[in-house]
Amino acid sequence: MAPATIKDLARELKLSPSTVSRALRDHPDISPKTKKRVVSLANKLDYHPDSIAQSLQTKKTKTIGVIVPEIKQPFFASVINGIEELAYAAGYTIIVCQSNETADREVLVTRSLGSHRVAGLLVSLSRSTENLDHFKVLQRRGVPIVFFDRVSNDIEASKVVVDDYKGAFDVVEHLIKSGYKRIAHLAGPKNLSISKFRLKGYTDALQQGNLPLDDSMVVYGGLDDTDGIVGFQKLLHLKTLPDAIFAVNDPVATGAFVMIKEHGMKIPDDIAIAGFSNTYMTSLLEPPLTTVEQPSYEIGKTAAQLLMEQINSNYENFIPKFIVLKTHLIVRSST
């Protein structure tokens, strides 16, 4: 049996399709009695709005596209939860795509979401993204875009980040005050905004603590646990090992954590270690990992809220917003 349409409802109720449509949208011009008749029949016939037909008429859908580097990361899973809650409350559904940390795939999924006429995009850039033309094309077509966590100054759009600089500064300052003198940094990709600000927080904290800056103590890599393993192996080649490590995020810290133990060293007696994000795994390690809490769920909700505001505004007069959320140092036994 074919699904019921507005024309079917109108025919049975002897009303015009436009009247039925307005009644279903609770339009004030339609009497309560008529609305009740329409809604009652709609429920009886199991009527649901045809989102495809609506998108053909309005050239928009009630769908938001979300692009993240990796869904498997607990941080991004939590961000998506925040996005979904606010989007659902506003009557929108979300399509989540992952770039797998590659610019080429990011371009492909961006074009695909654009062809599906999404109402807007929420994006965290891949670690290899340098050219943002694929996003600018959608902006010129009137598609609102909000960036979160990993952002770029090369595009005019609203952005939501945490205070990566302050979070990194706080954790390194904590290490210095705890008596550590040779503090290494397992840094992220050089081009990413989060990597740059966390590196800057690290170097400024060392300078304020009157500790020397040693380039050999900074190891650049990726953002996964395997990068922590490789990064620590590089530190092992130094003439003098660090007595503490600050990792760019918790997965990298976890990789280094495992390698420290595999080499028979004790945490924090031989080497202290700290991460950034406060993912669920950090409290389960032994000893538990010192880290910086960033409000991932709130990042998602805030980014979705900014996108809703832009969707509902006069796009031509929209002024992008830049929101920075606070971080919080969580000191545990690993330092």
By the 8 A CB rule, do 291 and 250 touch? yes
pLDDT of 44? 84
Average pLDDT per 10 consecutive residues for the chain, totaling 335 residues: 78 87 83 90 78 52 94 92 94 95 96 92 96 95 95 96 98 98 97 96 98 96 96 96 97 97 97 95 95 96 96 80 97 98
pLDDT of 56? 47
For residue 163, the cross-strand partners are none
Helix spans in the chain (H): 6-13, 17-24, 32-44, 51-58, 74-89, 103-115, 133-140, 164-177, 193-208, 225-235, 250-262, 296-311
List CB contacts of 27: < 8 A, sequence separation 6 or more.
none
pLDDT of 1? 56
DSSP 8-class letter at 278: -
**Tokens representing 51?**
């989102």
| Residue that the structure tokens 């033309």 belong to | 133
Tallying the residues shown for the chain, one arrives at 335
**Coil, strand or helix: which one is 168?**
helix
**Coil, strand or helix: which one is 160?**
strand
Q: Can you say how many angstroms the Cα of residue 97 is from the centroid of all Cα atoms in its chain?
A: 12
Domains and CATH numbers, the chain: 6-49 (1.10.260.40), 60-162+296-326 (3.40.50.2300), 164-293 (3.40.50.2300)
pLDDT of 51? 52
Q: What angle do CA 206, 212, 213 make, to 5 degrees?
A: 75
